[in-house]
Amino acid sequence: MRQTADEHTPGTSYDAELRRHNEVLRRAVGFQPHDHVLDIGCGTGQTTRQAARTARAGSAFGVDVSAPAIERARDLARADGLRNVAFEHADAQVHRFPQERFDLAISRFGTMFFGDPVAAFANIGRALRPAGRLVMMVWQAGERNEWDVAIRQSIGGPVAGASGGPDPFSLADPPAVREILRAAGFADVAFTDVHEPVYYGPDVAAALDWVRGFMSTRELLKQLDPAAATRAGERLREVLAAHLNDDGVWFDSRAWIVAARRHRAGT
């Protein structure tokens, strides 16, 4: 998982990393003024605030299991003067959301870490009104993501999730996701290929700080002895330098936007 507000480094932030993805997701969701929006795994709440700005006669509610992220999300929403937004420190898998309250559940890379995805999406579905929409952005497979391939080749180590830890690619396979969502009570599942680069910082030093902060990078580096970790750090610096353009360090990436509808009663 990426860093959240309590750990971000100067030069880069998760919102900056995903600036291109964010635009694509915002357009795909198409918030409406009266929408009541639930943001799953909202982190520091950029997407929740976006929802609240457009849903001016509706509302936006963000939940996240990270207490510091929720605190930061509240501060940022307050600083923006938004009155129709709220946040809660909660586990979206089991939280007792108000039933049939929301028109729309969204997520920007916040739904890939559920222990029991069918139960989690069923719980989210119960919070949606019948025929309410789910629109989430998730990573495609690691090997389709240049950033993941580059980091793993620099540091070495098993593929994400192999050790049973959080797997950012757990919703990469469309047939598996279709089946999870069907079992959780969703229909009309559709996938849109998102091919946009991620931004790792204005220069190599900032990008290196940023990438070394990823939980997956930290886990991989922890498995190495000090000399091997130093060599891995050097290889990482080289690969980041090879991706430095005039406007910073960028890597190719592939994501899905997955859209679905909660079943109407009786369908």
Ligand X SMILES: C[S@@+](CC[C@H](N)C(=O)[O-])C[C@H]1O[C@@H](n2cnc3c(N)ncnc32)[C@H](O)[C@@H]1O
**Interface ranges with ligand X (CB under 6 A):** 1-2, 4, 14, 41-44, 46-47, 63-66, 69, 91-93, 108-110, 113-114
Q: Closer CB to ligand X, residue 196 or residue 229? A: 196
Cα 98–70–193 angle (5° rounding)?
A: 80
Q: Distance between terminal CA atoms of the chain?
A: 36
Tokens of 255: 């994501």
Q: Closer CB to ligand X, residue 121 or residue 204? A: 121
Q: Closer CB to ligand X, residue 204 or residue 211? A: 211
Q: How far is the CB of 88 from ligand X (least distance, A)?
A: 10
Q: How far is the CB of 41 from ligand X (least distance, A)?
A: 3
Q: Closer CB to ligand X, residue 59 or residue 204? A: 59
Q: How far is the CB of 174 from ligand X (least distance, A)?
A: 20
C-alpha closest to that of 120 among 177, 194, 74, 193: 177
DSSP assignments along 127-157, one per residue: HEEEEEEEEEEEE--GGG-HHHHHHHHHH--
Q: How far apart are CA 171 and CA 34, in angstroms?
A: 30
Q: How far is the CB of 234 from ligand X (least distance, A)?
A: 27
Please enumerate in sequence order all residues whose Cβ is within 8 A of that of 91, keeping only pairs 6 or more positions apart, or say none. Answer: 63, 65
Q: Closer CB to ligand X, residue 111 or residue 204? A: 111
Cα 63–193–11 angle (5° rounding)?
A: 55
Q: How far is the CB of 228 from ligand X (least distance, A)?
A: 28
